[in-house]
């Protein structure tokens, strides 16, 4: 994006969408003054803004995310001394033509121009972003905001690309040079696949049917707008798809076997990659450590908790009954996708198709006839 500034034109306090990195280049013109805080101070920054900058009439919601919701509008300006007075670290930089400014994930920043100038900026991500992107996606979902990026899909695609590269290394030296980034991707992916496996196991116990879907795009959750890439749920209570993170609603749903969980065709490949990552040195330990510390990047680990007494085993085989008998003429439309269910039949339009058959079992490996 290209920016044209003039004397005292400002860019408000904000954090990059989805907590991405950003890089800003100053092409020409007058200097720019930047103020920034480190990413680890973001929660304190938001608390100070909520208590000492905004009044209750401005805040559109309550709780710890109230200020974040307003800050997303990128219209908030206030002097940095307010932050310093409340022990929030603030740093200043003056950008000249030919210089770059890089902002890190979750690092709030603001500034102004000293006169006419021209700059250009772009967002980017590296491997260590995925854990912070998960935090941003969680907060967007709490505020029911539509995400700009399909985080779950990006994580799965990047993880499978890494899995393929490690399985058939063409340039071992290049792979070895990026180990910290690879580790972050693996840990984030394992968190995601562990959650989806636990959720499917519980949903099977609650009562549900399943079928494979080869839909090529992420489906938005009708309740929180989060992107559903690995799986999503549909039932008579919610006409549109629902992600698996709504544990309370799923547990209290009276639909039972009328619920249908839609799984990606390549689900087994995703779980196979996750299991391989977990077998590598330190990955499983790092995942468990983050769960025990209650790290923000793995909040989904608190959903669908399982114990040994429940009989749950990680990556165990989960058998669903697969059928299309879920009622007559149930229709939904989302992002141009149309699907009509007919009793004992499944008719599909637009981009989605589902692999299923009457009186079959979906066992996680293949659809086998139930004789």
Residue by residue, DSSP assigns 39-107 as: GGGHHHHHHHHHHHT--TTT--S-STTHHHHHHTTS-----THHHHHTT---EEEEE-TT-EEEE-TT-
Residues 135 and 111 reside in one and the same domain: no
- For 199-249, the DSSP string reads HHHHHHHH--EEEEE---SPEEPTTT--EESSEEEE-SS-SS-B-TT-HHH
Q: For residues 340-355, b (16+ Cβ closer than 10 Å) or e, as one string?
A: ebeeeebeeeeebbbe
Q: For residues 146-178, b (16+ Cβ closer than 10 Å) or e, as one string?
A: ebebbbbebbbebbbebbeebeeeeeeeeeeee
| pLDDT value of position 324 | 52
- Summarised one tens digit per residue, pLDDT across range 105-115 is 999 999 999 99
Give the CATH number for residue 28.
Answer: 2.60.120.650
Q: Would strands 260-264 and 231-234 be described as parallel, antiparallel, or unpaired? A: antiparallel
CA distance 243 to 261: 10
The answer to whether the CB of 105 falls within 8 A of the CB of 96 is no
Domain stop point among 124, 151, 172 = 124
Residues 280 and 342 reside in one and the same domain: yes
Q: What is the mean pLDDT of the chain?
A: 84
Judge whether residue 46 has pLDDT over 70: yes
pTM of the entire structure?
A: 0.83
- Name the 3-class secondary structure at 38: coil
- Summarised one tens digit per residue, pLDDT across range 342-357 is 333 333 333 333 333 3
Instruction: Tell me which residue range forms the domain holding 296.
Output: 130-369
Residues 142 and 88 reside in one and the same domain: no
| pLDDT value of position 281 | 84
Pull the structure tokens for residue 242: 């629902």
Crossing angle of helices 267-278 and 283-293, rounded to 10°: 90
Domain stop point among 85, 103, 124 = 124
Residues 274 and 148 reside in one and the same domain: yes
Domain stop point among 93, 124, 155 = 124
| pLDDT value of position 336 | 39
Alpha-carbon distances, residue 292 vs 41, 67, 286 (angstroms): 22, 28, 10
The answer to whether the CB of 30 falls within 8 A of the CB of 115 is yes
- Summarised one tens digit per residue, pLDDT across range 265-284 is 999 999 999 999 999 989 99
CA distance 96 to 111: 13
- Name the 3-class secondary structure at 315: coil
Residues 114 and 145 reside in one and the same domain: no
Domains identified in the chain, total number: 2
The structure tokens 């085993």 sit at 313
For 43, residues 6+ apart whose C-beta sits below 8 A from its C-beta are: 64
Residues 16 and 159 reside in one and the same domain: no
| pLDDT value of position 306 | 81
Reported confidence tier of residue 58, pLDDT bands at 50, 70, 90: confident
Residues 207 and 342 reside in one and the same domain: yes
Residues 146 and 115 reside in one and the same domain: no
CA distance 208 to 320: 7
- Looking at the chain, the number of H-run helices and the number of E-run strands are 10, 20
| pLDDT value of position 173 | 60
The answer to whether the CB of 13 falls within 8 A of the CB of 108 is yes
Residues 275 and 351 reside in one and the same domain: yes
Residues 365 and 318 reside in one and the same domain: yes
The answer to whether the CB of 62 falls within 8 A of the CB of 150 is no
Residues 84 and 206 reside in one and the same domain: no
Residues 192 and 229 reside in one and the same domain: yes
Judge whether residue 159 has pLDDT over 60: yes
DSSP-derived letter for residue 19 is G
């Amino acid at each position: 994006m290209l920016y044209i500034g003039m004397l005292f034109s400002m860019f408000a306090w904000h954090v990059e969408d989805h907590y991405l990195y950003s890089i800003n280049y100053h092409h020409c013109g007058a200097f720019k003054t930047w103020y920034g805080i480190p990413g680890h101070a973001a929660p304190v920054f938001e608390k100070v803004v909520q208590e000492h900058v905004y009044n209750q009439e401005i805040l559109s919601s309550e709780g710890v995310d109230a200020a974040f919701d307003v800050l997303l509008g990128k219209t908030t300006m206030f002097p940095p001394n307010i932050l310093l007075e409340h022990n929030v670290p603030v740093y200043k930089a003056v950008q000249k033509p030919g210089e770059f400014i890089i902002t890190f994930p979750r690092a709030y920043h603001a500034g102004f121009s000293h006169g006419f100038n021209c700059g250009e900026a772009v967002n980017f991500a590296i491997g260590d972003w995925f854990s912070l992107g998960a935090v941003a996606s969680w907060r967007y979902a709490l505020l029911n905001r539509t995400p700009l990026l399909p985080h779950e899909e990006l994580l799965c695609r990047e993880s499978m690309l890494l899995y393929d590269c490690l399985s058939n290394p063409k340039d071992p030296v290049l792979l070895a040079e990026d180990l910290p980034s690879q580790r972050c991707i693996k840990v984030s992916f394992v968190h995601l696949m562990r959650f989806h496996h636990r959720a499917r196991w519980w949903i099977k116990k609650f009562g549900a049917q399943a079928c494979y879907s080869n839909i090529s795009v992420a489906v938005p959750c009708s309740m929180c707008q989060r992107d559903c890439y690995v799986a999503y749920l549909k039932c008579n209570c919610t006409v549109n798809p629902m992600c698996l993170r709504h544990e309370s609603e799923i547990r209290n749903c009276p639909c039972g076997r009328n619920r249908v969980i839609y799984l990606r065709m390549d689900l087994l490949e995703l779980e196979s990659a996750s299991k391989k990552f977990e077998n590598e040195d330190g990955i499983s330990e790092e995942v468990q450590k983050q769960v025990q510390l209650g790290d923000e990047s793995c909040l989904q680990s608190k959903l669908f908790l399982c114990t040994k007494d429940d009989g749950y085993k990680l990556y165990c085989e989960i058998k669903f009954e697969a059928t299309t008998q879920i009622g007559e003429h149930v229709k939904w439309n989302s992002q141009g996708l149309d699907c009509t269910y007919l009793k004992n039949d499944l008719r599909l339009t637009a981009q989605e198709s589902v692999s299923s058959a009457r009186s079959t079992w979906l066992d996680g490996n293949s659809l086998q006839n139930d004789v």
